Amino acid sequence: MAAVTSIDLPGLTKIATGKVREMFADEADPSSLLFVATDRISAYDVVLENGVPHKAAVLTQLTAYWFRVLTQPGALAGQTAPLCTHLLSLAPGPTARLSDTERSLLRGRCMRVRRLRMFPVEAIVRGYLAGSAFAEYSKQGTVHGEPVGATDGNSSTVRFPPGLVRCQKLPAPVYTPSTKAELGAHDENISRARAAELIGNPAHAARIEELALAVYTAAAEHALARGIIIADTKFEFGLDEATGEVVLADEVLTPDSSRFWLADQYEAGREQDSLDKQFLRNWLVREGLKGKEGVIMPADIVEQTSKRYTDVYERLTGQPLESALAALE
């Protein structure tokens, strides 16, 4: 299967292009969108010229798997209201003006989703202190602007104790939001108070924080039982303006939105290899191509990266990717 790096569907209106996805609207079905993953891959914030076969299917089917797991009754501890997700179906609606060829191109890589008003924050949850959070912690003694060692509001919980080393497990998972930068810009780590301001409605802000933490906690436990640490992850939520619900949207708990580490190789105090992209990042660094535009990966790098994405899918779900694809109508 060849990688697909751009998708045009003349019968539908393309309303957005992200680093990885294309979003289409169907006039006949205005409350939904077609959320289509391409096989594009980015590393060090730059999208590579060629794509990775099966990557879109991994991202889409893994998100669908998590949505199924997380919406089971009792899946999220302490939740009274059930989790709502944006997923409507894993195929375009019958009204979508698509040819048979286009429908087969979309197979496995698309979701028909509820059209939402997205909240302008990335709901990051961290179970371990890695990436930009560790950098800020060690340089400035803060995490997302919050002083290390401070207690959390009226509770006596210390979210970021002093003396943590790189990639160390935090005492409990923490919600550390960031802004959602436009294409080409960098997200900025912000405080929970600033995130609440951007979200606009305190009840929505509280619901986003509560859901992000509950979803991370349930998923981290599920993954650890399969040998994978979810060190941190990023969720996006949107408002369903018809029902007033705060809905879990976008992709969830994929290798693109999360740091996945192998539990049996984990050791605090050093960098960990990310399960899938490390191989590509190492190659870019070795070749002096880190952060460069227009890079074309050679065939063996593409193949190895594709294998790694598929492997993560299979470890987490316990199923070959082909079974998920074969089960699609």
What is the contact surface with ligand ATP in residues (CB under 6 A)?
16, 18-21, 23, 33, 35, 86, 113-116, 118, 183, 236, 238, 249-250
Written as six digits, the tokens of 191 are 């405080």
Nearer to ligand ATP by C-beta: 86 or 144?
Answer: 86
For residue 179, the minimal CB distance to ligand ATP (Å) is 11
Nearer to ligand ATP by C-beta: 169 or 180?
Answer: 180
Nearer to ligand ATP by C-beta: 26 or 250?
Answer: 250
Nearer to ligand ATP by C-beta: 241 or 322?
Answer: 241
Instruction: Please provide residue 103's backbone torsions phi and psi, each rounded to the nearest 5 degrees.
Output: -60, -40
What does the alpha-carbon distance between residue 232 and residue 174 come to, in Å, rounded to a whole number?
A: 9
Is 274 strand, coil or helix? coil
What does the alpha-carbon distance between residue 12 and residue 10 come to, in Å, rounded to a whole number?
A: 6
Nearest to 238 by CA among 248, 224, 228, 253: 248
Is 114 strand, coil or helix? strand
For residue 240, the minimal CB distance to ligand ATP (Å) is 9
Name the closest residue to ligand ATP (Cβ). 18
Sign of the CA dihedral running 57, 53, 11, 107:
negative
What does the alpha-carbon distance between residue 135 and residue 325 come to, in Å, rounded to a whole number?
A: 40
For residue 81, the minimal CB distance to ligand ATP (Å) is 19
Nearer to ligand ATP by C-beta: 183 or 326?
Answer: 183
Nearer to ligand ATP by C-beta: 228 or 249?
Answer: 249
**Beta bridge partner(s), residue 36:** 22, 110
- Is the distance from CB of 312 to CB of 275 less than 8 angstroms? yes
For residue 190, the minimal CB distance to ligand ATP (Å) is 16
Sign of the CA dihedral running 42, 132, 268, 155:
negative
For residue 192, the minimal CB distance to ligand ATP (Å) is 20
For residue 100, the minimal CB distance to ligand ATP (Å) is 26
